[in-house]
Structure 1
Amino acid sequence: MEPIPLSVFEAAVQVAGSALHYKSSLKRLMRNSGVSANGTERYADLTKYQMFRSTWDDLDRAGARGRKVQHNLITALANLDKPDPNVPDVPAGERAIDELRRLAQQENLLVSPEDLARAERRQAAATAAAESASKREQLAALNDRFQALHSHPDRQRRGYDLEKLLAALFRWAELDYHGSYKTETDQIDGAVTLDSFTYLIEVRWREDAAVATDLAVFADKVERRIDATRGMFISMAGFRPTAVDRYRQAKENRLVLLDGGDLAWILEGRFDLTEALRAKVRAASIQGDPYVPVYSL
């Protein structure tokens, strides 16, 4: 990207100083054009003219990235509809905008608001597509790890690795996750925050389904916390029907139950993790059933 000609820069200085009344307006325009938050505040004690000149010098020193921001600044100033009505000399502000617009058009620097909006939409769409592809690749990698765990020879190690995989999955979903920790009275495999509730996490990978005693011990951990705490029990082998029935009938159940099948659906990308958890919670709240399979939601 070519440097901005001196004549265009000087015209931009005049617009920044004479067409914008408040320093906050200039700082907002600079921030929207790509100047960093620190950069917009660095010269806040100077006049608007001096602020613009000093910030421009910083952008000069930033190389190609700085030149791109300079071009954005020229476009933003030249595309001003009119001066702020509170400036001391409105006609002078109008002349400054017209002169910058003329010089910018002469140098083929000016992008129309419509073209700029289209470019921003294209860039936003491209960024969103790239982020979506990256997220799919990350989820596929987590699923590969999950599948590999099924043939892990060390069963105890497999359980620890599953905890690590779940931590990575919660973070992939951008949920507020806390890893395993111990207190004076118990050990927690992890905790995650969803919709203002904190869910303590219990992870089990055993050959047999979890029994009523397993659920009772975990429920006790949850009940010793404040009311905004719930429990998320993840048992790869599922749960004994008699154990689940006890919590379907419980007066104050605070547990949500997941099994290996639920994880498979989520890791294969067939159900979004956050939405799956919310659907599980809705089923527990509305139907009184803490163990509704993801595939049926």
Structure 2
Amino acid sequence: MTDIPYHFPPDLVGVLVDTIPLLRRSKADTVGFFRACGVGERHLTDLQHRVDSNRSSISKYEIARMVIARINEEGDSGLRSRREIIRRVVEWEDFSTSWPEDALKAQGLVAKVRTLVGTKDSFVRMQQERDSERHERLRPQREAAAAAAEKRKLRENLLSELGRLFGMADPRQRGLKLEALLNEVFKLDGLNVRDSFTLANEDGRVGEQVDGLIELSNQPYLVEVKWRKNRLGVDGVSQHLVRVYGRAGVHGLIVSASGFADTAVSQCRKALTQKTFVLAELREIVYLLEQGGDFAEWLRAKTRAAVVDGEPLFLPNFDSA
């Protein structure tokens, strides 16, 4: 009977008040019926006293009406007894406990309670099914909202960590931290990322250090990260240009915390006739983190500017002057 409404509705209250007094012959038995259903003594003591001291002062119908009204006003504490009352009434089959002249009427009223409870149970079940269906229908929206909130929190954390780098005194450690942070940044919007790695020469010695590799639409980009005091010149980009030239089908991405000198931009612009090179300033990363921008779309726009317009240092949302 778990689908019974949380409180007895008025129509069910009326039928129960008419039915329960007919199920047992005496007033004491009527009080006993409720006691057997788990109704607390605080609701029965005064009624039991009236039955014991002056039976004519109260009727079985008044007992039923008062007890049901009392437990119907309760919250969780009355739920169990309300359900037990319904269960006992709808399962009542022995009408020999009724007065003979009341037996047929009692049977009819029990049948009416069964009908009411069945109708309301069906309504509750339908409501539950609708609620469940709505819950499932809205699941993608809830999950998307939760994912968006988690992503915003991650962006805030990365932005905070990035801000702390500006206070680091050790340039080498700062550069390593920046490499790791940028890899986490690029992962935000679904870019496949391979963290920094080294390649060995034939003699087993380290021959090449790659800051990272990202993949956009199945296109790999070798990443170089630089944090120098001054704008990055030709010497700051040439090694990465050579590294990308030596690999077929690979684009190049250089991220500089200090910007790029015109000579470096010019050198990369010339290289665009053979390879795709994208130059990015760290302030772009900071801006995208602050504004919730999409890094995949950002990289697509910069790549398109490099390939179509011959502009390796395209600064969307920035004054490039």
2:255 equivalent among 210, 234, 238: 234
SS at match of 2:313: coil
Match of 1:179 among 186, 195, 208: 195
Residue 132 of structure 1: aligned partner: 148
C-alpha separation between the residues in 2 aligned to 1:255 and 1:141? 29
Tell whether the 8 Å contact from 1:247 to 1:253 is kept in structure 2 after alignment. no
CA–CA separation in structure 2 for the residues paired with 1:189 and 1:248: 22
Residue 205 of structure 1 is matched in structure 2 by: 227
SS in 1 for 2:279: strand
Structure-2 separation of matches of 1:169 and 1:285 = 24
User: What's the C-alpha RMSD, in Å, of the aligned pairs?
Assistant: 2.7
Within a 5 Å distance, the mapping from 1:79-118 to structure 2 comes to 106=122, 108-110=124-126, 117-118=133-134
1:237-292 CA deviation, whole Å, 9 max, x = no partner? 11111221122233223211111221111221352211111111111122110101
Q: Deviations over 1:59-115 (max 9, x none)?
A: xxxxxxxxxxxxxxxxxxxxxxxxxxxxxxxxxxxxxxxxxxx99x74954569876
Residue 8 of structure 2 aligns with which residue?
none
1:212 Cα deviation after fit: 1.3
SS in 2 for 1:128: helix
Q: 2:264 aligns with which of 201, 224, 243?
A: 243
Q: CA deviation at 1:209?
A: 1.5
* 3-state SS in 1 of match to 2:214: strand
Mapped to 1, the partners of 2:214 and 2:133 lie a distance apart of 39
Tell me if 1:287 matches 2:309. Answer: yes
1:161 deviates by 0.7
* TM-score normalised by the chain length of structure 1: 0.60
Structure 1 residue 200: deviation in Å? 0.6
d(CA) in 2 for partners of 1:163 and 1:189?
Answer: 6
Mapped to 2, the partners of 1:169 and 1:272 lie a distance apart of 10
Separation in structure 1 between the aligned mates of residue 304 and residue 242 of structure 2, nearest angstrom: 22
Alpha-carbon distance in 2 for matches of 1:293, 1:113: 53
CA distance in 2, matches of 1:230, 1:113: 54
TM-aligned CA deviation for residue 157 of structure 1: 0.8
Q: Which residue of 2 aligns with 1:13?
A: none
- On the 8 A contact 2:245/2:275 being kept in 1, the answer is no
Asked which structure has the greater CA Rg, the reply is 2
Aligned partners of 1:154 and 1:247: how far apart in 2? 29
Q: Does 1:161 align with 2:183?
A: no
Which digits, 9 at most, give the CA deviation of each residue in 1:148-196, with x for residues without a partner?
1111122211111111111211223232111111112311001011011
Kindly indicate whether the alpha-carbon contact (under 8 Å) linking 2:276 and 2:307 is maintained by their aligned counterparts in 1.
Answer: no
Indicate conservation of the 8 Å contact 1:189/1:202, yes or no.
yes
Quote the Cα distance in structure 2 between the aligned partners of 1:145 and 1:288: 34
TM-score (norm 2): 0.56
Quote the Cα distance in structure 1 between the aligned partners of 2:131 and 2:307.
Answer: 50
- Structure 2 contact 175–226 (Cα < 8 Å) conserved: yes
Q: What residue ranges of structure 1 are gaps of 5+ in the alignment?
A: 4-101
SS at match of 1:295: coil
Tell me which of 236, 252, 258 is aligned to 2:274.
252
| Structure 2 stretches lacking a partner, 5+ long | 4-117, 201-206
> How far apart are the structure 1 equivalents of 2:178 and 2:227?
8
Q: Determine which of 247, 258, 264 is the counterpart of 1:225.
A: 247
Alpha-carbon distance, 1:117 to partner:
4.6
Task: Judge conservation of contact 1:210–1:240 (CA < 8 Å) in 2.
Answer: yes
For residue 192 of structure 1, give the secondary structure of its aligned residue in structure 2. strand
Give, as a single letter, the amino acid of the residue that structure 2 aligns with 1:188. V
Question: What is aligned with 1:272?
Answer: 294
- Aligned mates of 2:156, 2:177 — CA distance in 1: 17
Which amino acid is 2:192 matched to? D
Post-superposition offset of 1:213 = 2.5
Aligned to 1:35: none
Partner of 1:183: helix, strand, or coil?
strand
Describe the SS at the equivalent of 2:317: helix
* Counterpart for residue 136 of structure 2: 120
Name the CA distance, whole Å, in 2 between partners of 1:118 and 1:296.
Answer: 45
